[in-house]
A and B are shown apart, each in its own frame.
Chain A
Amino acid sequence: MAQVDLPDNVVITKLDELVSWCRKYSLWPMPFATACCGIELMATGASRHDLARFGAEVFRFSPRQCDLMIVAGRVVMKMMPVLQRIWLQMHEPKWCISMGACASTGGVFDTYAVVQGIDRFIPVDMYVPGCPPRPEQLIQAIIDLQEKIQRTGTAWGKELHDPRRSRPPRLLLSDPNHPELPVSAGRFPMERQPEASWPMLSPPPPEEPRRLNSEPKII
């Protein structure tokens, strides 16, 4: 076998690895901070803990510019459609960190309004335990997520065709603590169809075909 001597400044790798390597060090988080965990999230981004060391410091408040959703705090059922809408507005590839006991399980707020774990309704990649988690824990979650991105990312989005992606995130069959409560995934209020009350998830109305080079409309 012929052996080629590479110069010192040349590295050979797979394209997938290279792309994932680029992605994992340029995470742009979307701070969905709804409660006290948000304060720790801010501390994580601030100078003492300095999230910039891990390449994830560019917090953007527009979902179109983000690829990492950090849900920091409890999410109530009225907020859930907002969270889902923001998640759907983010571009692929995207990841989600559920920060704190409340976002992951509802925490101490076992009440009618608080969603018992956002992972029942949107996909989550990393869970951070704690109430609130220390910034180091959040940084650890981001490092773990970077490992996951390196492990699973592909340059051409092969993973997007994985049939497992159509599975509900963590389907609730019955509430273990309150078995009397009805659970019927995807319907609220229980007897109405979701389309009637939550217009955001209904299919978009048929649009008029967009005409290119058409005359500008004079109003």
Chain B
Amino acid sequence: MAEESTLQGIRERFPSAEISEFRGQHRIRIEPAAVHDLLEFLKEELGLGLLVDITCVDYLYYPNAKDRFGLVYLLANPETNERITVRTFLNEPEPAVPTATDLWEGANWLEREVWDMFGIRFAGHPDLRRILLPEAFEAHPLRKDYPLQGLGERHNQPIVTRDMG
């Protein structure tokens, strides 16, 4: 739930942002090039200083979806309890957005997780490595075109026999 003054501020500053509401939750849709400016504006001027989460949705097989990846930022204002969802849509090849680590240190691992699972690059991220999967893993398993059983990674490990130790 966001207050009307907050929404008004966003509308004035970012006329291209689409604001929608669903069951009292406000969502802002913005193009990828402006997402960093919007986050900065929300944090510095509207007091939405708490980055709750960064996550992503793959709309590959979603009916009527126009874009492939929906990147989602969840922000909150700890003083007024306002919450806002910022969404931006990205497409292949090389989906990328500017990093938010310069605004929130805590975005570091969240962005690494999104990179690990969806393969979205965060330009300017100080340390964009995989965070959950092994470094040698090559796919991005939460993409919808990655099969649930994987591409055989789980079957292809070194084998330890009894005479080895």
A interface residues with partner B (beta carbon < 8 Å): 77-78, 80-81, 84, 87-90, 92, 94, 110-116, 120-123, 160, 165-169, 171-172, 175, 178, 181-190, 192, 194, 197-198, 201
Asked if residues A166 and B161 are in contact (CB atoms below 8 Å), the reply is yes
- A111 to chain B: which residues have CB within 8 Å? 148-150
B interface residues with partner A (beta carbon < 8 Å): 132-138, 141, 146-165
Supply 30 A–B pairs (Cβ within 8 Å), ascending by A.
A81-B158, A84-B158, A87-B160, A88-B164, A90-B165, A92-B165, A110-B149, A111-B148, A111-B149, A112-B147, A112-B149, A112-B154, A113-B133, A113-B150, A114-B154, A116-B154, A116-B155, A121-B159, A121-B160, A123-B160, A166-B162, A169-B162, A178-B149, A181-B149, A183-B156, A184-B156, A186-B157, A189-B136, A189-B137, A189-B156
Asked if residues A182 and B150 are in contact (CB atoms below 8 Å), the reply is no
- A81 to chain B: which residues have CB within 8 Å? 157-158
Asked if residues A169 and B156 are in contact (CB atoms below 8 Å), the reply is no
Choose among B133, B155, B160, B165 the residue that contacts A181 (Cβ–Cβ < 8 A): B155
Choose among B134, B146, B163, B165 the residue that contacts A77 (Cβ–Cβ < 8 A): B134
- B147 to chain A: which residues have CB within 8 Å? 112
- B153 to chain A: which residues have CB within 8 Å? 77, 112-113, 188-189
Cβ-closest 3 pairs across A and B: A112-B150, A88-B165, A165-B162
What is the CB-to-nearest-CB distance from B131 to chain A, in angstroms, rounded to a whole number? 11
State in angstroms the CA–CA spacing of A123 and B163 once bound together.
10
Choose among B133, B157, B163 the residue that contacts A165 (Cβ–Cβ < 8 A): B163
Looking across the interface, which residue of chain A has its beta carbon closest to that of B148? Answer: A111
Asked if residues B156 and A182 are in contact (CB atoms below 8 Å), the reply is yes
- B155 to chain A: which residues have CB within 8 Å? 116, 120, 172, 175, 181-184
A-B pair number, CB within 8 angstroms = 121
Looking across the interface, which residue of chain B has its beta carbon closest to that of A83? Answer: B160
Looking across the interface, which residue of chain A has its beta carbon closest to that of B135? Answer: A197
State in angstroms the CA–CA spacing of A192 and B138 once bound together.
11
If over half of B's interface residues share one DSSP class (helix, strand or loop), that class is named, otherwise mixed; here it is: loop
What is the CB-to-nearest-CB distance from B149 to chain A, in angstroms, rounded to a whole number? 5
Known: A182-B151, A182-B156. A78 touches B161 (CB 8 A): no
- B149 to chain A: which residues have CB within 8 Å? 110-112, 175, 178, 181
Asked if residues B160 and A77 are in contact (CB atoms below 8 Å), the reply is no
State in angstroms the CA–CA spacing of A79 and B150 once bound together.
17
What is the CB-to-nearest-CB distance from B150 to chain A, in angstroms, rounded to a whole number? 3
Looking across the interface, which residue of chain A has its beta carbon closest to that of B156? Answer: A188
State in angstroms the CA–CA spacing of A185 and B151 once bound together.
14
State in angstroms the CA–CA spacing of A23 and B94 once bound together.
59
Asked if residues B154 and A113 are in contact (CB atoms below 8 Å), the reply is yes
Asked if residues A84 and B136 are in contact (CB atoms below 8 Å), the reply is no
Choose among A78, A92, A183, A186 the residue that contacts B158 (Cβ–Cβ < 8 A): A186
Known: A77-B153, A113-B150, A186-B156. A165 touches B136 (CB 8 A): no
- A123 to chain B: which residues have CB within 8 Å? 160-162
State in angstroms the CA–CA spacing of A201 and B159 once bound together.
9
Asked if residues B161 and A169 are in contact (CB atoms below 8 Å), the reply is yes
- A192 to chain B: which residues have CB within 8 Å? 136
What is the CB-to-nearest-CB distance from A76 to chain B, in angstroms, rounded to a whole number? 8
Looking across the interface, which residue of chain B has its beta carbon closest to that of A90? Answer: B165
Choose among A90, A115, A122, A171 the residue that contacts B154 (Cβ–Cβ < 8 A): A115
